[in-house]
Amino acid sequence: MNDFNISLQVAAGGLHAQSARMRVIAENLANADSAARTPEEDPFRRRIPTFNAVFDREMDAYNVRMGRTVLDQSAFESKYQPGHPAADERGYVRYPNIDPLIEMADMREAQRTYEANLNVVSSTRAMFGQTLDILRG
């Protein structure tokens, strides 16, 4: 397999992994303000994406893959809302353990990494085109 194909496949793996990461972050953000329906029920728990480096024998290179999504075990946020249907006997409602600022920072990092992989694809295609032009000339 030539170097152009290897770099394209590695970059494509990065694109897929970051796309999956952005989906998990978007799910976290969408559920940031969702309380449980009852006092006994847990609210949405933040998900954390993991990644694995997988060795591809055909390419003779490592590629990144989205791994398991693990649950953040940090404490839920509690707000005093005595009239809420999910309020406990003290009037507190538990909300997800999601900090939108952290999620937005993670999203920004995922977007930048996605763009970097996209630039690798574009550069590789341009180099491949230039190589073909040289060989034709």
The tokens of 13 are what? 């793996």
Confidence (pTM): 0.87
User: Is residue 80 helix, strand or coil?
Assistant: strand
Distance from C-alpha of 88 to C-alpha of 40, rounded to nearest angstrom = 8
Q: pLDDT of 19-64, one tens digit each?
A: 999 999 999 999 999 998 999 999 999 999 999 999 989 888 899 9
CB neighbours of residue 4 within 10 Å: 13
Q: pLDDT of 66-97, one tens digit each?
A: 999 999 999 999 999 999 999 999 999 999 99
> Which strand (E) or helix (H) includes residue 66?
strand 61-71
CB neighbours of residue 106 within 10 Å: 18
In the predicted structure, residue 112 carries a pLDDT above the cut 80: yes
In the predicted structure, residue 1 carries a pLDDT above the cut 70: no
> Which strand (E) or helix (H) includes residue 133?
helix 100-136
Task: Look at residues 34, 37, 42 and name the one whose alpha carbon lies nearest to residue 85.
Answer: 37
Distance from C-alpha of 75 to C-alpha of 83, rounded to nearest angstrom = 22
Q: pLDDT of 5-21, one tens digit each?
A: 899 999 999 999 999 99
100 and 89 Cβ atoms separated by less than 8 Å: no
